[in-house]
Chain A
Amino acid sequence: MGSPVFVGIQRILVAFDASPHAEHALDVALAMAGDMKAKLFVISVIRPPEPAESAEFHAVLEDGQERYEKCFVPLRERAKQKDIELETDIVLGHPAEQIIHKADTIQASLIVMGKRSHTILHRWMLGSNSERVLRYAHCPVMIVH
């Protein structure tokens, strides 16, 4: 059984970008979903280069779809072994925006995401997705270090 704070968690949303941090977050979410018999949703967001340029944009889109689909194959196998109901989704756009939107759409009980260490310049230029999700999400957010 999970701790009392996790009682009632039925839908867990994991933000997955194929990074080691996201893999770690996924491991944690899988364990939690198994313990709590929760449904697991995994969302991967393809972020287009800004400003999008036609040929490059389509290349990024196709590349992202292929990469995440490959990642989802072993994930589905792991979920099946643990008897966890799994739903995967690949979307395009701003990561924080899409994660929050997905969480609202599926009425997620919890969002799990990895924390990436960005430089100060990177944070200033682009912001942190985990910080934005923490700020705007309508459900608890777990950041896995």
Chain B
Amino acid sequence: MTNTWALCALWVGLALAATLLAIWFKISTALSEIVVGTVAQLVIGVFLTGLFGFAQGGLAGNTQWITFLAGTGAIVLTFLAGAELDPTIFKTKWREASIIGLAGFFGPFLGCTAIAHYVLHWAMMPSWLCGVALSTTSVAVVYAVMLELGFNVTEYGKAILAACFINDLGTVIALGLIFSPFTIKTLIFVVVSIVVFIVLPFLTPRFFKKYGGRVSELEAKYLLFFLFAMGGLAVWAGSEAVLPAYMIGMVLAGTVGKDHSLIRRLRTLTFGLLTPFYFIRAGSFVSVPALMAAPVTLLVLFGAKSLFKAVAVYPAVRIHKYDGKAGAYYTLMMSTGLTFGTISALFGLNHQIITQAQYSYIVGTVIASAVIPTMIANSFFLPHHLLPHHQAGKKAEKEVMRPVPAEEG
């Protein structure tokens, strides 16, 4: 690559196009950027090779500065996801949340691993990675539906939301620990992490109170310092930088997470510069020819993900007596988060755990499981509250469809 600014203009231009598409079709920017990245790589790679001097590797997604920006995007995005946790949820619903969340993680994790290994005949390590990538849950999708139907204030809604965080925590921990050899470095990483996670919630608000609120954006530098430092330690130990980022987000959710002004500034940095590089890069590694060569693989993985998520979550929810119509909503946990799904797949590709074809199938499945439920819902639109229901189901529906605010505390 010879012209950094031209390459940068190309990427930002693609980000701009992706954002316009997201606005026109009311889809998430992340999804739009992944798709634009895939199409742009295909078009530029196939048709414009050699042009402008940067087309040798298509979008040149492995250029060092692009890798850095994309990696930082993943770290900050993961931090923001962790910071959205409502700590009070865990105080009352930690038991249900843990059981449902762990079931939601282990079901697809073990199930998809088994399917990848025994049905698709992938080697063991790629199969584990496939399991990790497809074990995630989109907290935002679940939260959106909860808000829409008013469940976010119910005991039921709070438990499911907390379960989603536990589910994703399982994914991040698995990603951070399964693929790294357990050495003295791992031990140092774990010990230092525990100390940092304990100290940060006490140190951060005091530090911000004393030095924060200035135009020099001390808060952003402070957070980035810890995110980079812990990320560096994680990588040194053979783990993944998003693991400490998610944990730091969770432990600071009660303090930094409530500072809307700071979170807003971080979002500007994240959406304006970092995440376009992350998602377009993730999309650019998807091989369309590989997907077209074996579409059945995609169907198998999508089926496995949906099946094992449902099989695992359903009994866990039943145990806690969430009955009737509630079933329709916990199945939302089947929706995969684009962020954690692609982070896991990219980790596998970067560490040569999976091939580009396997990466393409995993990312394809992640996108499908995020998009297909929405497409079905839009295609067969019918207002929820007008849906016909059986007399026997009425009692259960009343319990669930008319939310009762949870007791405070």
Interface residues of A (CB under 8 A from B): 47-59, 61-62, 91-94, 96-98, 100-101, 104, 122, 125-127, 132, 136
Chain B positions near chain A (C-beta within 8 angstroms): 22, 24-31, 77, 80-81, 84, 138-141, 143-144, 147-149, 260, 263-264, 267, 270-271, 335, 337-339, 370-371, 374, 378, 381-386
Residues of A within 8 A of B140 (CB): 48, 51-54, 56-58
One of A49, A93, A126 near B22 (C-beta < 8 A): A49
Q: Beyond A52-B28, A56-B30, A122-B24, is A136–B386 a contact (Cβ under 8 Å)?
A: yes
Of all chain A residues, which has the CB nearest B77?
A55
A53-B339 contact given A59-B267, A92-B148, CB 8 Å threshold: yes
A-B contacts counted at CB < 8 A amount to 111
A96, B144: Cβ atoms closer than 8 Å: no
A105 to chain B, nearest CB (A): 9
Of B144, B267, B382, the residue contacting A55 (CB under 8 A) is B267
Query: A59 to chain B: which residues have CB within 8 Å?
Result: 264, 267, 271
Complex CA–CA separation, A94 to B26 (angstroms): 11
B372 closest partner in A (C-beta): A51
Tell whether, in the assembled complex, residue A126 and residue B378 are in contact, meaning their CB atoms are under 8 Å apart.
yes
Bound CA span A56–B371, Å: 16
A-chain residues with CB within 8 Å of residue B25 when the two chains form the complex? 122, 125-126
Q: Is the CB of A54 within 8 A of B28?
A: no
**A97 to chain B: which residues have CB within 8 Å?**
148, 381, 383-384
Interchain CB contact under 8 A, A52 and B138: yes
B271 with A51: CB separation less than 8 A: no
| B379 CB to nearest A CB, Å | 9
CB of B30 within 8 A of CB of A136, answer no
A-B contact pairs, 9 of them (CB 8 A): A47-B26, A49-B28, A51-B138, A52-B144, A54-B138, A55-B80, A56-B140, A94-B381, A98-B148
- Highest count of chain B CB atoms <10 Å: which of A47, A92, A94, A126: A92
Quick one: closest A residue to B150, CB to CB?
A91
How far is it, in angstroms, between the C-alpha of A62 and the C-alpha of B26 when the chains are bound?
17
CB-defined contacts of A47 to chain B, threshold 8 Å: 26
Do B28 and A126 touch across chains, with their CB atoms under 8 A apart?
no
Interchain CB contact under 8 A, B337 and A93: no
Which residue, A54, A56, A57, A91, has most C-beta atoms of chain B within 10 A?
A54
List the B side residues contacting A127 at CB < 8 Å.
Answer: 378, 381
Q: Which 9 A-B pairs have the closest CB atoms?
A: A93-B148, A52-B140, A49-B28, A51-B370, A57-B140, A54-B140, A55-B80, A52-B144, A54-B81
A122 CB contacts on chain B under 8 angstroms: 24-25
Q: How far is the CA of A100 from the CA of B382 in the complex (A)?
A: 10
Most chain B CB neighbours (cut-off 10 Å) among A50, A61, A91: A50
A132 to B382, CA, bound (A): 9
A54 and B144 form a contact (CB under 8 A): no
Known: A96-B383, A100-B383. A51 touches B31 (CB 8 A): yes
B59 nearest CB across to chain A (Å): 22
**Residues of A close to B263: CB separation below 8 A:** 58
A45 CB, nearest partner CB in chain B, Å? 9
Flag if B260 contacts A53 (CB, 8 Å): no
